[in-house]
Amino acid sequence: MKKLYLAPLEGVTDSIYRRTFLKYYGGVDKVYTPFLSPNSTYKFTTREFKDINPEKNDVSLTVPQLLTNNPDHFTWAATEIIALGFKEINLNLGCPSGTVVSKKKGSGLLFYPEELDRFLYEIFNQLKGKCSLSIKTRLGKHEPEEFYEILEIYNKYPISELTIHPRIQSDFYKEPVKMDFFDYAYENAKAPLVYNGEIHSSADIEMIEEKYPNIAGVMVGRGLIANPELGLQYKKLKNTSEIDLKILKEFHNTLLQEYSETLSGEKPVLHRMKEFWSYWQIQFPEDEKTIKKIKKTNKLQEYKDYVSKLI
């Protein structure tokens, strides 16, 4: 049985979500923060620090993720994070967002192999022995064949785990995953590999596990948000594929309470909760009308009334 990781999703898997998910579900070996963006201020924003505050995170399971192309900014942030008690830091080389890519960050840096190599040389030298450094990557920016050179670069460094999302930047999340390039990585990567992409069920995880028996783990994002019991199902800690609506209700209500106490006003609370329903709706195929009402309402009490009809 492979290790299972909760992927970072911007606007979804913040510290409140991660902490509540671990309380009600779990079944995962690590949870990753959405990316923090260290810069020339050499300060975390209030929001960023909240997401890595050790009082609000299980530091033994949580992996902070950093997004930058500046080795000094990365090293500064990593040093601060290590001082908080975290043992692993993840470098985001996978984000496909246009605004990120245009700054040569995320998957945008993959198009500049010399700069990528220089960046990795600096951060691995500066942080040698201080923590584990893992990477989450795509195959390239424009063409998957870019990955051949990118993997050669990765193979120079003691990457603790290399998570590969086998798409290029311009695929975003819509084009089919390019499994033949993960095959190539499986045969040629020196770092322990983690697979990420289009995992929606325990059967999907088992298929990856069977095809790639020597990988270190599987990272799941959208599939684990849509079905928070997925880790439990995969690890045989739950025997049915039907979601327990009583636990989902408690999970939902705790999230709602936490966000109501943290966010200012009904609108941001509703925005955050509606984002979850864009994933959870798959659990309620017969209730499309109620789901639509949940997504359209602008009043918190109305929202609560609609949700109570479902769970």
CATH code for position 35 = 3.20.20.70
Domain shared by 269 and 223, yes or no? no
Of the residues 234, 268, 286, the one at which a domain ends: 234
* DSSP states along 70-130: -HHHHHHHHHHHHHTT--EEEEEE----HHHHTTT-GGGGGG-HHHHHHHHHHHHHHTTTT
Domain shared by 215 and 275, yes or no? no
Q: How far apart are CA 27 and CA 4, in angstroms?
A: 8
Q: How far apart are CA 295 and CA 274, in angstroms?
A: 6
Structure tokens at 150: 């990118």
In the chain, the percentage of residues whose pLDDT exceeds 90 is: 98
Domain shared by 161 and 289, yes or no? no
Element (H, E) at 166: none
Q: How far apart are CA 286 and CA 149, in angstroms?
A: 48
The pLDDT tens digits for 140-196 are 999 999 999 999 999 999 999 999 999 999 999 999 999 999 999 999 999 999 999
The pLDDT tens digits for 271-293 are 999 999 999 999 999 999 999 99
Q: How far apart are CA 36 and CA 52, in angstroms?
A: 9
Structural domain total, the chain: 2
Residue 270: which domain range? 245-310
Strand partners, 220: 6
Domain shared by 196 and 105, yes or no? yes
Contacts of 15 (CB under 8 A, 6+ apart): 33, 50, 51, 52, 53, 56, 57
Domain shared by 116 and 257, yes or no? no
Structure tokens at 163: 């998570």
